[in-house]
Structures are given as C-alpha cells and as structure tokens.
Amino acid sequence: MPTPALLQVEHLSLQFRTRDGTVRALEDVSLSIGKGETVGLVGESGSGKSVLAYALLGLSDGAARVTGGSSRFDGLDLLAAGEPALQAIRGREVSMIFQNPKVALNPIRKVGHQLEDVLARHTTTPRAQLRDKAIACLADMRIPDPARRYHAYPFELSGGLCQRVMIALALACGPKLLVADEPTTGLDVTTQAAIMALVGEATRARGMAMLLITHDLALARERCDRIVVMHAGHVVESAPTEDLFRDPRHPYTRQLIGATPVGRASLAELSAIGGSLPDLRRSDLPACRFAGRCALRTPDCEQPLPELRAGPRTLRCHQASLQEATA
C-alpha cells in the first residue's frame, strides 16, 4: 500500500528574471513524498534540485516567479500561503539542512542561543528550560561537551560540528518533513558517514519524511526509499531505489549511474556524461532538454514530452516509453 502523500508537487514551473534573460529553472516538475518516506532528489549540479527545495519553503530569490503548478504540504497550499503562514511551519512542520552551515548559521550569535530562538518560537518550552533543552538538542547530535559548545560561535567550530548544529536546529521541533540539501558537502568521508547516520537515526526514530538532495548516487541508494532524477529543470524519471539501479530506463539516468562509482571494481568502469546542461535562458529550448546529449535522439524527441504516469515508477522519454510499450 502506498503511503499517504505528505508533500505533493504537481506541474510546478519557476523562472528567474535576470539581466541576460529569463531562466526557465523548473518546468512541469511533479513529485510526492509519503509520510515517513525518504526520497532522494538526484542530478548534476545546475539541474534544479536546490531551486525546487527553496521554492517549496518559500525561500526563493526575489527574482524568482512561479509560473504554474501547485505544491501542497499536509493539506496546506504552499504557493498560495502568505509569508506569515510559511514562517509558522518552517522549523516546526518543515525544516531544512542547508548546504553550507557556516553560512546558514548566524555568525555573531552563539549556537546555543540560536537553538533557543527556534525552540521559543515553535514550541511551548518554558523560558527557564530553554537552555537545558538547547543543550539536550546538541547532545542528541553527539556533539562533545554540549554544555560548552552551547556558548560557541559558528566560527569556533569545525565544519562537521557546524553541520551537527544545523541538524540540531532542523530537528529541534520534531518536523514532519526534513529537507536535506547536500548535507555532507565539504566534509571528509568519515564525517559524512557519521552525519548521515545521525540524520537517518533521527528520521526513523521520529517517523519523519525526508527529501535528500544530493549528486551522490551511492548515498541516495543507501538512504532512500525512492529516487527522483532531475535534468535541467525537468523530472525525467522516478522509481523505488533498487528498481532504478537495477533497471534505469531514461537515457540520462543510465548515464548518471554509469558515471557513478557504485558497485564498480575500478575507475576504468566509469563513463562520463557527454555534453553539458543546456542554457536555460534559450527561447528555443527543446521539449526534451536532454536531447542534445542523447545518443538515442530521433525526430520524435522534438515533440512535447509524454505526461508522467501516476504510479511507483514515472518516466518522461519518448524512446524509453516506446521501448517499454514494445517490451
């Protein structure tokens, strides 16, 4: 039985107005996340993963404009909700772990006080208990000597400790959905593993859903129930994790997996993805934005993309859909 959708995004399109033209950053994006489910959002840098996350939380740049679609979280229309409503759910119902914690954290405020700010705004914790609760949040993230770290400023902490503080902030109020945007960027391999273990334990223990944004397919395979693949602002394929790795059907998904050292015996087995992402400012973007890089391209690929079909597996590719139909 599929889990009820906690987040449902349908046909979302977003543009940025720039001096050099309009950037069509997201086009007709659809995805869903069930309660307690972990969904991976993967693709190359520049594919629109973080743009989507910021749009969902109402944190987009002022130059951004949603041009179509809908996004509902637990019954709330996120795109129609005003800033007060979004502020009420950010941190309490939906939290985000940002890519660069040293930038996201307030550099002139002690980390313990930043935790207190979140707890005071979104919980009923008595003021006299805020300090103890903040220290307990740091301890939950296995930060050594949390009572002392409570008084630290972000610049006094390592990248790994800052990331643990960021996770403590994100989890402090027990959100229903955690958005983790490249949560291990810039960390060494050992610290990456420790951070993801903490996040995984917390989401399972609290029954939270998670959207894990990453370009690391090995991480997505290890941590996610389902994976959504993005390319140049399009969702091109989504499937249960092991189904996607066992039988990738979109040409881009196959190339993405082929370029990833997942289950490879040597680097010689890796293959590069040819070409580059298209310029999203172009007024003549093809219907399939991968067409210029695709060895399977035919004249059919100039036609509008097929609709994403509802179900555990979705796909937007004329050639792959044709192969499915004739298999």
DSSP at 254: H
pLDDT at 266: 58
Report whether pLDDT(40) > 90: yes
Interval 298-307 mean pLDDT:
84
Q: Examine residue 193 and state whether it is found in any structural domain, yes or no.
A: yes
Chain centre distance of CA 101? 16
User: Which strands, in side-by-side order, build the sheet including 38-42?
Assistant: 94-97, 177-181, 209-214, 38-42, 226-231, 234-240, 314-315
Rg (CA), the chain: 21
Q: Examine residue 139 and state whether it is found in any structural domain, yes or no.
A: no
Report whether pLDDT(288) > 50: yes
Q: Are 135 and 162 in contact (CB under 8 A)?
A: no
What's this model's pTM, rounded to 2 decimal places?
A: 0.92
pLDDT at 265: 55
Report whether pLDDT(327) > 50: no
Q: Are 295 and 319 in contact (CB under 8 A)?
A: no
Classify 5 as helix, strand or coil: strand
Q: Which residues pair with 17 in a beta bridge?
A: 22
Strands 64-73 and 76-77: antiparallel
Report whether pLDDT(128) > 90: yes
Give the tokens for residue 141: 């993230």
Report whether pLDDT(326) > 60: no
Q: How confident is the model at residue 177 (pLDDT cuts 50, 70, 90)?
A: very high
- Alpha helix ranges (H) inside the chain: 49-56, 83-89, 101-104, 111-122, 130-140, 146-149, 159-171, 189-206, 217-223, 241-246, 251-258, 318-326
Which CATH number belongs to the domain containing residue 291 in this structure?
3.40.50.300
Q: Examine residue 17 and state whether it is found in any structural domain, yes or no.
A: yes
Report whether pLDDT(53) > 90: yes
Q: Which has the higher per-residue pLDDT, 103 or 240?
A: 240
Query: Which of 9, 39, 48 minimizes the C-alpha distance to 240?
Result: 39
Say which range, 51-60, 80-89, 299-308, has the weakest mean pLDDT.
299-308
Tens digits of residue pLDDT in 207-265: 999 999 998 898 999 999 999 999 999 999 999 999 999 999 999 999 999 877 766 55
Q: What percent of the chain has pLDDT over 70?
A: 92
User: Position of tokens 């940025």?
Assistant: 16
pLDDT at 264: 59
How many alpha carbons lie under 13 Å from residue 125 in its C-beta half-sphere?
A: 21
Q: Examine residue 273 and state whether it is found in any structural domain, yes or no.
A: yes
Give the tokens for residue 74: 């637990």
Q: Which residues pair with 21 in a beta bridge?
A: 18
Q: Which structural domain range is residue 319 located in? A: 5-108+153-326
Q: Which residues in 221-246 are b (16+ Cβ under 10 Å) and which e?
A: bebbbbbbbbbbbbbbbbbebeebbe
Q: Examine residue 97 and state whether it is found in any structural domain, yes or no.
A: yes
Q: Examine residue 278 and state whether it is found in any structural domain, yes or no.
A: yes
Domain count across the chain? 1
First to last CA, the chain: 26
Q: Examine residue 40 and state whether it is found in any structural domain, yes or no.
A: yes
Tens digits of residue pLDDT in 131-160: 999 999 999 999 999 999 999 999 999 989
Give the tokens for residue 251: 């040409």
Q: Examine residue 141 and state whether it is found in any structural domain, yes or no.
A: no
Q: How confident is the model at residue 12 (pLDDT cuts 50, 70, 90)?
A: very high
